[in-house]
Amino acid sequence: MSVRSVFVHRTWTLEPDKLPDAAPITFAMECDVCSEKSADFNEIDPAQQWVFGHVGTNPAHHSFTEILRRPWRAWMKESGLT
């Protein structure tokens, strides 16, 4: 019995997932000073408004990070092998 290997090169594509069942794009903000985080929102405006509320109660907290969650999908093109 002999062993034989077959190598197949395939092309993968990576793109934002826009299919109907894809998870929604969400936005949040996180304080870089205390790590407190806003809720996840489907739009950026409520997350940015959270920053103003946080700064109002924590005047020394000036640095924030935007957290964007965007679903992606990877798929393989047909190889054309028979």
Q: Would you state the pLDDT for residue 79?
A: 59
Q: Would you state the pLDDT for residue 80?
A: 54
Between 76 and 2, where is the model more confident? 76
Supply the DSSP string of 12-73, one letter for each residue.
Answer: EEEEE--STTSPPPEEEEEETTT--BPPPBSSHHHHHHHHHHHHHH-TT---EEEEEE--EE
pLDDT tens-digit series, residues 18-71: 999 999 999 999 999 999 999 999 999 999 999 999 999 999 999 999 999 999
pTM: 0.75
